[in-house]
Amino acid sequence: MSEEHTVEMVGVKRPRPPPITSGIAPKEVSLENTARVSPKTPLPLARKSAMGSPIGSVGHSTQNTTPGTPTGQPLIRGVQGCSRTAKWSSLIGGALMQGRAKDEESIINAVALRIAAAIPGDRSAAADGFRVLLVNLRDAKNIKLREDIIEGRLPVEVLVRMSERDLLNPEAKRNQEAEFLERSKDTDLTEIRRAITTKSTLFPCPSCKARDCSWTQKQTRSADEPMTVFCVCNVCEHKWRRY
């Protein structure tokens, strides 16, 4: 090519040919060209119902707001109370069965269950009252007391509130009254107090731990409350109360 022709070609702008579109199908949009959600792109919020709770959210289960039935401690207490009453009624029934026929066992067990359930006071006071009652019911000489209970002459409500002096057998009552009359001649108030109190090994002394005390009962609170027990240790003269 000559030099003149080369100079002539420089600086000349050739028009670009138009694109050929006839007979060519439009290019399809592939999935690769779609916008991808990056890890930092926030997810769309869950649609909420009229009540404001999310609907159809994945991984979140609705909580049951229905309050459940309270169980646990009240049921345990009830079971313990029934177990204690059953044990006490069994021991009282065995004491009442002394000298009775076998066919009376069902009636006596029913009476014993009523007695065990009617013992007043809290846990400690009821246990003390039960021990006092059981000791006197097991007394072989206390036949009249057992007969009055079984035959209904002595109501259960009255029985469970009787003092130990009232629960004693007739012979023990006479001996106690004779001892009181003999000691009442003495002006020593300590001796008189010991004469009118009941000697027992039921209550341990808080001071010396000896089970040798004299005690009596007095109604110091309202009528529906159990009686207060006044105890005096016969070993160390320590005094205390049991409510």
Q: What is the rounded end-to-end Cα distance, in angstroms, of the chain?
A: 135
Residue 73 is predicted with a pLDDT of 37
Residue 219 is predicted with a pLDDT of 81
Residue 137 is predicted with a pLDDT of 94
For the stretch 206-216, pLDDT in tens is 989 888 888 88
Strand order across the beta sheet in which 213-218 lies: 198-200, 213-218, 228-233, 239-242
| H/E run at residue 200 | strand 198-200
User: Which position has the higher pLDDT, 140 or 40?
Assistant: 140
CA quadruple 217, 219, 221, 226: dihedral sign: positive
Domains belonging to the chain, first-starting first, are 75-162 (no CATH), 163-243 (2.20.25.10)
Q: Are 98 and 91 in contact (CB under 8 A)?
A: no
pLDDT of residue 19 exceeding 80? no
For the stretch 43-86, pLDDT in tens is 555 555 545 544 444 444 444 444 444 443 333 345 556 888 99
pLDDT of residue 7 exceeding 70? no
Mean pLDDT over the full length of the chain: 75
